[in-house]
Amino acid sequence: MRRMLTVAACLLSLLHPAAGFAIDSYRYLHVSIETPWMIFIFLLVAIFIPFILMLVLMWRRPMHDSSAAPKSKTSDDE
Domain locations in the chain as residue ranges: 31-61
Q: Convert the pLDDT of each residue in 9-54 to its tens digit.
A: 877 777 766 655 556 666 667 778 888 888 899 999 999 999 999 9
Residues 20 and 14 sit within 8 Å (Cβ to Cβ): no
Say what the pLDDT of residue 23 is. 61
Which residues are CB-neighbours of 19 under 8 A, at least 6 positions away?
A: 13
Whether the pLDDT of residue 61 is over 70: the answer is: yes
- How much is the pLDDT for 12? 74
- Helix, strand, coil shares, percent, the chain, to 5: 65, 0, 35
Distance CA 63, CA 74 (A): 23
pTM of the model: 0.38
Q: Which of 4-8, 34-38, 40-44, 57-61 has the highest mean pLDDT?
A: 40-44
